[in-house]
Amino acid sequence: MRYVWLPIHPKNRYTTIMKENSLSQTNRHLKNPVKAQQLVTRSIASSTAIETGEPIAVIEQKINRLRSAVSRVALA
């Protein structure tokens, strides 16, 4: 098997955008930090629900409780 290295054309808009902007800056669903956090929570909960059989809503509540508990902890 032989690999051939091809130069990326500088005017290729897709590669230029991908280098300059992160997904959180370009994805309209992730631009709002509150909504982005909700989507991450839903993603984690649904993956966990598939593995454990527990309802997504219950897992989301547990995740949200853990996050709020962590924010209340005061560091010395």
How many Cβ atoms from other residues are within 10 Å of residue 41's Cβ?
17
The reply to whether 32 falls in a domain is yes
Q: What is the CA radius of gyration of the chain?
A: 20
**In the chain, how many domains are there?**
1
The one-character DSSP state at 32 is S
The reply to whether 6 falls in a domain is no
The reply to whether 17 falls in a domain is yes
pLDDT of the residue at 19: 57
pTM of the model: 0.59
Single-letter residue type at 31: K
The reply to whether 48 falls in a domain is yes
- Model confidence pLDDT, tens digit, residues 4-38: 555 566 665 555 445 566 777 778 877 888 888 99
Predicted confidence band at 73 (pLDDT cuts at 50, 70, 90)?
A: low
pLDDT of the residue at 31: 83
pLDDT of the residue at 23: 76
The reply to whether 21 falls in a domain is yes
Residues 47/28, Cβ–Cβ less than 8 Å: no
User: Which range marks the domain in which residue 52 is found?
Assistant: 13-72
pLDDT of the residue at 64: 92
The reply to whether 5 falls in a domain is no
